[in-house]
């Protein structure tokens, strides 16, 4: 879906929502940031607009008539890696989990502060630009910005050994006891950050800042969901985790184990 555009082309955001007032308010605030905004009112229009306009980011409402946002997200993700920010009037965890499983990059519950939406969009675009600049085999870093992955976990191609977990950052591949783990991109990034900081208690806010690139208050349940998924893949018993330990009232600690 995504084709290369001129380096001078204005950054383009596709806003998909069936409520005109929400589309208009989002557009006004994104345009103030110098972003070009295109619209879609329903799921069918969203898919066609994504193909026609090749946006740099999509703000996508879930609850729409016809094809809902989940179906749109699934279709777009099969064709493109464009960052997707899902919007939902419901705050249930299941919506967040389904959206992330389908390939969305972030999730925001309505009603939301427009400043937060703009901040999330800026962070997602920044990380997408850094990922593009660094190439497909490296995760994004920005040594001078102070935003995201400040420890420069992925700055060089390297192998990280954390007990019986081995991580090849060049191949973006992790193994447990010699068996390759089927990790989603953010699960991989989270595992690398844990492996680079064994024994250190890491707060949810710190993980959001360093792994997700957010330098503003965000719902920390995103971290908990990804930790749960990661535990299902690296723990013998995810209900009694030994590698990623919960430090109540603080965050998480990664403990290495030799198989």
pLDDT 10s per residue in the chain (259 long)? 544 454 446 899 999 999 999 999 999 999 999 999 999 999 999 999 999 999 999 999 999 888 899 999 989 988 888 999 999 887 677 787 888 878 888 889 888 899 999 999 998 898 787 766 554 444 433 333 333 333 333 444 578 999 899 999 888 899 999 999 998 888 898 999 999 999 999 999 889 888 877 666 666 778 888 899 999 999 999 999 999 999 998 999 999 876 5
Same domain for 120 and 20: yes
Residue 153 belongs to a domain: no
Residue 152 belongs to a domain: no
pLDDT value at residue 128: 80
- Which CATH number goes with the domain that contains 28? 3.40.50.2300
Any idea what DSSP says for residue 57? E
Report the distance separating Cα 191 and Cα 163, nearest Å.
13
- Beta bridge pairs of residue 201: 253
Same domain for 240 and 207: yes
pLDDT value at residue 140: 39
Domain count, the chain: 2
Same domain for 126 and 50: yes
Residue 222 belongs to a domain: yes
Domain enclosing residue 70, as ranges: 12-134
Same domain for 174 and 85: no
Same domain for 173 and 125: no
Select from 240, 256, 152, 106 the least CA-distant residue to 194. 256
Residue 17 belongs to a domain: yes
**Distance set, CA 176 to CA 173, 190, 241, 252 (Å):** 10, 15, 15, 20
Same domain for 96 and 40: yes
Please tell me the pTM assigned to this model.
0.59
Q: Is 227 exposed, middle or buried (0-12, 13-18, 19+ CB in 10 A)?
A: buried
With a CB cutoff of 8 Å and minimum separation 6, the contacts of 36 are 10, 11, 12, 13
Same domain for 178 and 96: no
Residue linked to tokens 């990623």: 244
Same domain for 129 and 163: no
Q: Are 62 and 39 in contact (CB under 8 A)?
A: no
pLDDT value at residue 167: 94
Same domain for 183 and 115: no
Residue 183 belongs to a domain: yes
């Amino acid at each position: 879906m995504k084709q290369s555009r001129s380096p001078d082309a204005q950054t383009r955001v596709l806003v998909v929502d069936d409520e005109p007032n929400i589309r208009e308010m989002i557009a006004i605030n994104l345009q103030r940031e110098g972003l070009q905004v295109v619209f879609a009112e329903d799921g069918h229009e969203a898919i066609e607009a994504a193909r026609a306009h090749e946006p740099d980011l999509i703000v996508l409402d879930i609850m729409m008539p016809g094809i809902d946002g989940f179906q749109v997200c699934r279709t777009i993700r099969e064709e493109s890696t464009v960052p997707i920010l899902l919007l939902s009037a419901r705050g249930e965890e299941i919506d967040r989990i389904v959206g992330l499983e389908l390939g969305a990059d972030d999730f925001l519950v309505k009603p939301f502060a427009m400043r937060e939406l703009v901040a999330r969009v800026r962070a997602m675009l920044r990380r997408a630009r850094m990922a593009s600049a660094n190439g497909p085999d490296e995760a994004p870093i920005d040594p001078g910005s102070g935003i995201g992955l400040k420890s420069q976990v992925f700055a060089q191609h390297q192998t990280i050994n954390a007990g019986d977990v081995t991580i090849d950052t060049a191949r973006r591949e992790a193994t447990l006891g010699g068996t390759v783990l089927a990790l989603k991109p953010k699960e991989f990034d989270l595992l690398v950050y844990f492996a680079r900081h064994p024994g250190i208690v890491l707060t949810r806010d710190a993980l959001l800042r360093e792994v997700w690139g957010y330098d503003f208050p965000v719902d920390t349940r995103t971290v908990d969901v990804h930790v749960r998924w990661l535990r299902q893949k690296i723990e013998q018993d995810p209900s009694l985790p030994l590698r990623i330990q919960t430090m109540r009232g603080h965050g998480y600690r990664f403990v290495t184990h030799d198989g």
